[in-house]
Amino acid sequence: MTKALSFPRTAAVVPALLELARVDSTNSVLASLDASRPYTTVLSAHQVAGRGRKDRQWWARSGESLALSTVVPAASLSADKVSWIPLIAGLAAIRSLSALGLTEATLKWPNDVRVGDKKLAGILCRTSSSSLVVVGVGINLFFAAEPPVPDATAIGEHVRFSPSLPDWWASNFLLELQRLTEEQWESSSSSVSEVMDTLGRRVEVSSVDGAQWSGYAQRLGGNGSLIVQDIQGREREVVAADIEHLYQ
């Protein structure tokens, strides 16, 4: 981690915070700890083996992004509600960005935070026990040169960046995540739909079995799935697939 970054605000809102100068994956580190206290958190500005959905690599230069993982209690939640946690985390990320002045961020189903058509952050969750879910977020802070990939964007491209900004974002994110997971679930899920840019769009669906088809994203299902109306007019539930927004 660069010496310019510190996280006193974040440390003040969680029961335990582990800051690492370099890490393979904050999700893996947190899952390996005896992190039984809710919202125990691991973070680093230099993650070298981060992974997204389908084991895709999250690649960023040292110091230009923040990887954060925290533990969310899930013992009292049904399986349908647990499947909403990645979406709830995305909403928390967006609200914490808005508090910094970046108000244009939206969600792309199921786990991308974007500004326009560029990715700002990704969410990856894993179950660490029957009562805990590890929520991982990788978010771009700034780019010293060109973005590592063409469709990436960073906080510093939209608001003035300062060394204290990552701490403000992380602490706000953790507070929002806690509040959203503790409030009435219907309210949180409705708020997710409000920031879900995928809804109402024509989308292409690439299923895990290799099938591809297109349709119009209608709404989110009760378990956080995406309900898409195909070209034959049938509503189909998408649970695990890649979604591309079609702009034509």
Closest by Cα among 105, 70, 79 to 90: 105
Closest by Cα among 102, 109, 175, 188 to 139: 102
How confident is the model over 6-60, as pLDDT tens digits? 999 999 999 999 999 888 889 989 888 876 788 999 999 987 755 555 555 555 5
Domains of the chain: 8-195 (3.30.930.10), 202-246 (2.30.30.100)
Average pLDDT, the chain: 89
List strands edge to edge, sheet with 241-246. 235-238, 226-230, 212-220, 202-207, 241-246
How confident is the model over 91-141, as pLDDT tens digits? 999 999 999 999 999 999 999 999 999 999 999 998 876 688 999 999 999
pLDDT beyond 80 at 196: yes
pLDDT of residue 185: 73
pLDDT of residue 2: 42
**What pTM value is reported for the model?**
0.91
Q: How many CB atoms lie within 10 A of CB 52?
A: 16
Euclidean distance between the first and the last CA atom of the chain, given in angstroms as a whole number: 42
